[in-house]
Amino acid sequence: AQSVTQLDSQVPVFEEAPVELRCNYSSSVSVYLFWYVQYPNQGLQLLLKYLSGSTLVESINGFEAEFNKSQTSFHLRKPSVHISDTAEYFCAVSESGTYKYIFGTGTRLKVLA
Amino acid sequence: NAGVTQTPKFQVLKTGQSMTLQCAQDMNHEYMSWYRQDPGMGLRLIHYSVGAGITDQGEVPNGYNVSRSTTEDFPLRLLSAAPSQTSVYFCASSYSARGTHEQYFGPGTRLTVT
């Protein structure tokens, strides 16, 4: 069955340090992969997505994620975080041919001054 | 465009009461869905719709009903509220039902059942 695992529930990191938020999925078919960000008391917003093609995808605010099919992972990285990146990040998967998105449990990123 | 709107923002219900959470989108999106968000559990899909007149169950459908009579609206009905339904509810829409397009989320409804 399709599932998404985000192993880290909370990640504290100092400002300007690099960060990696991990996401692993299980699926037996082709998948589409997404990262969403949720700022306090708001809905989710798309950060980046992988549909096909280049396995490295980037967002406009410096985040990137790499699709690794052999390891069934889609980890999110940023080389230097800002206080404003403090938020909860959700990895999501949809399987080709289905209508359902499955979300991970989320990782709360806290950037410290 | 207003995007995805949800009403109300907050609601307190007593056990056994019923209510409808409203969701509307003005982007002519084909796909709409309802999620509940609980601490440590991420977002769980309640019901979804791939077009007007077509709905299906998600991961946690018990205690909830939906209908989709128009492309724009996708209300979620709680039939007889229970404390276990205390949660934050998000409605989302997507251009395509094929899973290749991002979902746009509403601001959420925070529901407390006492």
Q: How far is B80 from chain A (nearest CA, A)?
A: 26
Give residue A11's region: left, alpha or beta (phi > 0; psi -120 to 50).
Answer: beta
| Residue matched to tokens 């059942």 | B113
pLDDT, one tens digit per residue, over A18-74 is: 999 999 999 877 888 999 999 988 889 999 999 888 889 999 889 999 999 899 999
Number of neighbouring beta carbons within 10 Å of residue A66: 15
Collapsed DSSP state (helix, strand, coil) of residue B40:
coil
- Give the pLDDT confidence score for residue A51 in this predicted structure: 87
pLDDT at A54: 85
User: Does the beta-carbon distance from B48 to A100 stay under 8 Å?
Assistant: yes
User: Hunting for tokens 């940023």 — which residue is that?
Assistant: A78
**B39 phi and psi angles, rounded to 5 deg:** -55, 130
Residue at token pair 């980046």:
A48
pLDDT for B10-68, tens place per residue?
Answer: 999 999 999 999 999 999 999 999 999 998 888 999 999 999 999 999 989 999 999 99
Cβ-based contacts of A98 with chain B (< 8 Å): 99
What distance in Å separates the CA atoms of residue B74 and residue B6, rounded to the nearest whole number? Answer: 10
pLDDT of residue B99: 66
CB contact under 8 A, B44 and A103: yes
CA pair distance B99, B31, nearest whole angstrom: 9
pLDDT at A16 over 90: yes
CA dist., res. A105 & res. A64, Å (int): 20
CA-based nearest distance A113→chain B, Å: 26
The 10s digit of each residue's pLDDT in B68-88 is: 999 999 999 999 999 999 999
| A10 or A97: which leads in pLDDT | A10
Distances (CA, A) of B94 to A17, A100, B100: 34, 11, 9
